[in-house]
């Protein structure tokens, strides 16, 4: 029978077993969260408890997936799902019986309210919590503000913006009756082949930590009521350094590397109050993360005192059985994950029956189930879902896409676009000089500018690059030669046409990069589960750039992408390159404002750009021996563009680097001051960066590590003294015997405009 996977006791018997006529304290808002949780938990059957630990995809998602996927395709699909031999009516019935604790992939307020109304019909009525991948705004649902992506945000080095975007996203989510964002992604990205780089805050643990913590604070605040949403720090851990660059591949990382590089952002996220953690697809050192008790129990709860709940990623508990093969059955996989510390299962129909059986077989104590359910219920109470299970449909659009949120989206785009090259100061463009401009490339006039995790939006809510150019320079003639959106299926005839048109233009703008839109899943070249074996421009894009540049007319390259791209030919031959990443709904306006000088670019790279795939892994905070021997083919060991690098339309001079002390104890702080002057002719914002190196240590240390930064606005000719404090924790590391602390010896302080040695002033001090 098709209903057998979620067999339950009769509701009548369940009610009889729990009814003792006690006052329903859990329904009293005046009671404490702890009191309400314990009262409700004491009324729940085993089946209801296990149901709280299970998540399903929404019914509209099921309906769409059933029409587009076969059962064979379902196995390897990590974006769409349905449940074979299970009807939508089954899911609705289970919701009404209180056997589903959460939904994901619910994309409209109407569906969220409907599913919640079913949950309200359950015996106890316990509301469901709706989770969604609101990665840069609640962009995965239509008619919401789409901000610049996380990698853009990281390139702005603007932690206040991280908070503001998260806070506004929380308001828009709650306006849609959505309560839980699967963000921030605080993985430290070290492989440009990996398709999810754009979802992260880059390669540096310190920057990722600060951005992630501010995002958590913005989403949750104090996690108390109808304006907050639950943050989820993910993916724990190692998925951003997969063995072959593909999502979910094994990670083999030493405990030293984990603790020094990959753990810090999770620590800061938990300190900021994060109440959910998502485990990573991959195995770590031979143990699937989803059954790794060292990660979930020893580290998360034991060392870091994490009080929230742990959720699996998409069907990854099932993969313990059918992929990793460390369990001999699905039921055994469920046992292993719960025993290791898992609280919620994403997603599927077998969990309820099998987990209840494991409890009845006494393999899992019911008190272990109670631990997880307490954590989940506590969050639901704190979010106010028992008092306000629905969203007001009429008020929803008064909050979503409001003027303040749109303004933040535009500003985040402006501040996250990096100017990589500007030879001969061709930028900013002079409209009077370039009257006829050719615009071409796969991203010239496409809403792909929104980036991954974005639903298709209304055209009037998106400004493409072409539209932005026409707004910025209305008297200029912009001629588009469309190249389609899929770089792998470009038409050589369209490339030839662009080359021909380029000869009669005054200026050429090629908008190239990757394709990321999820509604054309099979045509993507970037994003979740869209990894590449190369980081060169896909398809005929290099040929397009070269043929357009062969016209002899100035040619500018604008990149729209999530991962770093090795555009070495363009870097050597074109006068200007702009790395726009995926700047969101107003990205086209922001790009045009930068190209025409209405905005002075200020962003700096949050991730190194390698020259080619052969340089991977390429990151700035490497160990001293990493480039001791050059490549045998004499290819450079230096990156195409380094971490922290980015140009401006003005210039800055650093001078007078001073330390308050040059001899300190391991418990003392040092004040660092540097003078920064805007030596150009226009106002700008300089991102001042401070790096440290432990010159001699018991275990090898990176050649430099970012330890502080500041966004400094400067008018033309203005100078400011920028101050930093080096606290003892910024000197600490794991010694030879894995003891965390500060070792005596000499340190180097480096302050400047990028991580390149030639861009840094240096001073030394000694720890006694």
Task: List, as one string, the DSSP characters of 471-525.
Answer: HH-TTSEEEEEE--S-GGG--HHHHHHHHHHHTT-SEEEEEEE----GGGGGG-S
Map residue 691 onto helix, strand or coil: strand
CA-CA distance, 293 to 308, in Å (whole number)? Answer: 16
Q: How far from chain centre, in Å, is Cα 636? A: 31
Q: Which residue has the tokens 């509701």?
A: 11
Write out the H or E segment, with its range, that includes residue 398.
helix 393-399
Distances (CA, A) of 652 to 419, 551, 678, 761: 15, 35, 5, 13
Are 554 and 508 in contact by the 8 Å Cβ rule? The answer is yes
Are 544 and 482 in contact by the 8 Å Cβ rule? The answer is no
Report CA torsion sign: 134, 135, 141, 145: positive
| Range 653-662, long-range pairs (CB < 8 A, 24+ positions) | 653/677, 653/679, 654/688, 654/751, 654/752, 654/753, 654/761, 655/761, 656/721, 657/749, 657/751, 657/761, 657/762, 657/763, 658/763, 659/749, 659/763, 659/765, 661/765, 662/763, 662/764, 662/765, 662/766
C-alpha closest to that of 564 among 616, 510, 601 = 616
CA-CA distance, 134 to 169, in Å (whole number)? Answer: 8
Three-class SS of 84-150: CCCCHHHHHHHHHCCCCCEEECCCCHHHHHHHHHHHCCCCCCCCCEEEECCCCCCCCCCCCCCCCCH
Write out the H or E segment, with its range, that includes residue 14.
helix 11-18
The DSSP bridge partners found for residue 556 are: 509, 576
Indicate the DSSP class of residue 647. B
Three-class SS of 258-326: HHHHHCHHHHHHHHCCCCEEEECCCEECCEEHHHCHHHHHHHHHHHCCCCCEEECCCCHHHHHHHCCCC
Are 731 and 656 in contact by the 8 Å Cβ rule? The answer is no
Report CA torsion sign: 287, 292, 298, 303: positive
Neighbouring CB atoms inside 10 A of 42's CB total 13
User: Token digits for 428?
Assistant: 């900013």
Map residue 229 onto helix, strand or coil: coil
Q: How, if at all, do strands 54-57 and 102-104 pair?
A: parallel
Neighbouring CB atoms inside 10 A of 160's CB total 11
CA-CA distance, 192 to 330, in Å (whole number)? Answer: 34
Q: How, if at all, do strands 652-659 and 670-678 pair?
A: antiparallel
CA-CA distance, 510 to 465, in Å (whole number)? Answer: 10
Those residues whose C-beta lies under 8 Å from the C-beta of residue 172, and which sit 6 or more positions away, are 137, 138, 144, 145, 399, 400, 401, 405
User: What are φ and ψ of residue 299, in 5° steps?
Assistant: -85, -60
Enzyme catalytic residues: 313
Apex 565 CA angle, 564 and 568, nearest 5: 130
Write out the H or E segment, with its range, that includes residue 687.
strand 684-694
CA-CA distance, 444 to 513, in Å (whole number)? Answer: 10
CA-CA distance, 520 to 527, in Å (whole number)? Answer: 12
């Amino acid at each position: 029978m098709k209903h057998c996977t979620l067999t339950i006791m009769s509701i009548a018997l369940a009610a009889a077993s729990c009814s003792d006529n006690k006052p329903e304290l859990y329904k009293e808002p005046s009671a404490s969260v702890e009191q309400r949780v314990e009262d409700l938990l004491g009324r729940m059957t085993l089946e209801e408890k296990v149901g709280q630990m299970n998540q399903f995809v929404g019914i509209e998602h099921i309906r769409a997936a059933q029409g587009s996927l076969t059962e064979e395709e379902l196995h390897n699909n990590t974006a769409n799902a349905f449940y074979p031999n299970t009807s939508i009516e089954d899911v609705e019935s289970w919701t009404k019986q209180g056997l589903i604790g959460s939904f994901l992939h619910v994309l409209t307020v109407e569906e969220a309210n409907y599913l919640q109304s079913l949950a309200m019909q359950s015996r106890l009525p316990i509301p469901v919590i709706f989770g969604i991948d609101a990665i840069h705004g609640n962009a995965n649902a239509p008619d919401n503000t789409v901000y610049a992506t996380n990698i853009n945000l990281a390139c702005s080095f603007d932690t206040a913006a991280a908070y503001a975007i998260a806070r506004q996203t929380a308001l828009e989510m709650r306006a849609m009756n959505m309560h839980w964002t699967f963000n921030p992604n605080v993985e430290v990205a070290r492989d440009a082949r990996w398709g999810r780089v754009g979802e992260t805050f880059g390669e540096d643990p310190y920057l990722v930590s600060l951005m992630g913590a501010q995002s958590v604070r913005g989403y949750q605040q104090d996690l108390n009521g109808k304006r907050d949403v639950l943050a989820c720090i993910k993916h724990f851990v190692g998925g951003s350094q997969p063995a072959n660059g593909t999502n979910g591949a094994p990670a083999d990382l030493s405990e030293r590397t984990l603790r020094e590089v990959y753990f810090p952002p999770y620590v800061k996220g938990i300190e900021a109050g994060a109440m959910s953690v998502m485990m990573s697809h991959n195995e770590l050192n031979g143990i699937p993360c989803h059954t790794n008790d060292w990660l979930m129990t020893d580290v998360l709860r034991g060392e870091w005192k994490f009080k929230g709940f742990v959720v699996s990623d998409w069907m990854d508990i099932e993969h313990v059985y059918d992929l990793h093969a460390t369990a001999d059955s699905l039921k055994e996989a469920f046992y292993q994950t719960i025993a290791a510390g898992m609280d919620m299962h994403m997603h599927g129909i077998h969990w309820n029956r099998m987990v209840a059986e494991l409890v009845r077989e006494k393999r899992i104590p019911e008190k272990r189930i109670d631990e997880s359910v307490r954590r989940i219920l506590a969050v639901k109470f704190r979010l106010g879902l028992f008092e306000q299970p629905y969203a007001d449909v009429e008020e929803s659009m008064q909050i979503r896409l409001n003027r303040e949120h749109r303004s933040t989206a535009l500003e985040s785009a402006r501040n996250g676009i990096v100017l990589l090259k500007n030879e001969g100061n061709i930028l900013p463009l002079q409209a009077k000089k370039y009257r006829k401009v050719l615009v071409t490339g796969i991203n010239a006039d496409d809403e792909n500018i929104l980036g991954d995790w974005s639903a298709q939006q209304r055209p009037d809510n998106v400004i493409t690059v072409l539209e932005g150019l026409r707004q910025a320079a209305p008297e200029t003639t912009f001629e588009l030669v469309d190249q389609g959106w899929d770089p792998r299926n470009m038409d050589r005839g369209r490339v030839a046409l662009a080359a021909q048109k380029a000869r009669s233009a005054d200026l050429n703008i090629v908008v190239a990069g990757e394709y990321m839109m999820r509604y054309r899943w099979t045509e993507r070249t970037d994003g979740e589960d869209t990894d590449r074996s190369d980081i060169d421009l896909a398809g005929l894009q290099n040929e397009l750039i070269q043929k357009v540049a062969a016209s002899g007319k100035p040619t500018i390259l604008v990149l729209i992408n999530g991962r770093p791209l090795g555009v070495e030919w363009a870097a050597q031959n074109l006068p200007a390159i702009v790395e726009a990443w995926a700047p969101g709904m107003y990205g086209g306006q922001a790009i045009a404002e930068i190209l025409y000088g209405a905005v002075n670019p200020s962003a700096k790279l949050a991730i190194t750009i390698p020259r080619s795939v052969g340089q991977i892994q390429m990151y700035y905070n490497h160990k001293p021996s990493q480039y001791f021997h050059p490549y045998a083919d004499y290819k450079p060991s230096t990156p195409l563009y380094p971490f922290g690098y980015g140009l401006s339309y003005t210039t800055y001079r650093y001078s007078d680097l001073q330390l308050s002390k040059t001899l300190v104890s391991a418990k003392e702080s040092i004040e660092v001051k540097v003078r920064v002057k805007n030596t150009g002719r226009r106002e700008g914002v300089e991102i001042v960066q401070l790096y440290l190196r432990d010159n001699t240590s018991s275990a090898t240390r990176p050649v430099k590590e970012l330890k502080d930064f500041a966004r400094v606005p400067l008018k033309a000719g203005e100078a400011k003294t920028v101050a930093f404090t080096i606290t003892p924790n910024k000197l600490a590391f794991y010694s030879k015997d894995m003891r965390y602390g500060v070792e005596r010896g000499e340190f180097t302080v480096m302050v400047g405009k990028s991580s390149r040695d030639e861009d840094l002033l240096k001073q030394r001090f000694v720890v006694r």
